[in-house]
Amino acid sequence: MAHFDDVKGFAFDLDGVLADTAKFHSQAWRQIAEELNITWTPELESGIKGIDRMSSLMLILNSADVAGNYTEEQKEALATRKNDHYKELIGTLTPDDVLPGMHKFLDELKANNLKMSIASASKNAPFILDKLQISDYFVGVVDPSKVKEGKPAPDIFAEAAKILDLDPATVVGLEDSAAGITSINAAGEISVGIGDKALLHEAKINFPSTADVTLAKIRAHLNW
Ligand code: B16
Ligand code: MG
């Protein structure tokens, strides 16, 4: 079992961990769904978390069994239109949108010389970090277009450990999605789930919200 003294770095998911961009993803996808006469459901709302843009579109189209009605070109156009709308929405982000407790937690990690990287499925991650004015905390950001498979595959979190130049077993991954927790575990890292414990039951450590996450609590869990 991992011991806290072995921990050397942290890999952060972005949407749902550092900022609540999920509401903007939902808003932008919901508009597309409604244009296509597809009912927006809570299942779609949570299902799109953590998975990449095209997989999100496929989930929405498959929920109404209409994926076969669209050509690749049309699907690309829908995904681009969603992203244009999403970019307008995230353009309004400010440092105040960093989720509760996370500024303090980032400072705590920095003060303890723990290295940090971003393990997001989002191609918009650098833009979002810039808007939140927290880019400087991170050694690097995984480029999801350069990894073979998105979450739940291990690739994104494995790459986040590589960026930190650390053995995955010494890296703690933080996630709000079930697909993300699966990715962290598959990469051989220590998983921290933030949010609904029933949904994130595969995580090694669970916190109800970002406001509850502290280094001391992670340390206490790992030294148990
Ligand atoms: P984009 P995360 C994920 O971010 C979102 O949770 C997911 O809903 C989204 O589809 C995905 O990023 C791709 O985002 O369209 O901006 O490239 O949670 O992995 O930080
Ligand atoms: Mg997330």
CB-based contact 49:164 (threshold 8 Å): no
Nearest CA to ligand 1 atom 8: 49
pLDDT at 223: 84
Based on the residue annotation, tell me whether 97 is a catalytic residue of this protein: no
- C-alpha distances out from residue 18 to 1, 67, 189, 192, Å: 27, 32, 19, 14
Total residue length of the chain: 224
* Angstrom distance (rounded) from CA 47 to CA 218: 27
Atom of ligand 1 at shortest range from CA of 118? 20
Biggest CA-to-CA distance, the chain: 54
DSSP string, 129-165: HHHHT-GGG-SEE--GGGSSS-TTSSHHHHHHHHHHT
Domains assigned to the chain: 4-19+95-222 (3.40.50.1000), 22-90 (1.10.150.240)
Q: pLDDT for 43-99, tens place per residue?
A: 999 899 888 999 999 999 999 999 999 999 999 999 999 999 999 999 999 999 999
Atom of ligand 1 at shortest range from CA of 14? 20
Does 47 contact ligand 1 (Cβ within 6 A)? no
Q: pLDDT for 28-47, tens place per residue?
A: 999 999 999 999 999 999 89
Higher pLDDT, 222 or 58: 58
Q: Strand 9-12 and strand 115-118: pairing?
A: parallel
Tell me the CA–centroid distance for residue 162 and ligand 1, in Å. 21
Banded model confidence at residue 1, pLDDT cuts 50, 70, 90 = low
Q: pLDDT for 205-220, tens place per residue?
A: 999 999 999 999 999 9
Residue 3's Cβ-count burial label (10 Å; 0-12, 13-18, 19+) is exposed
Tell me the CA–centroid distance for residue 180 and ligand 2, in Å. 7
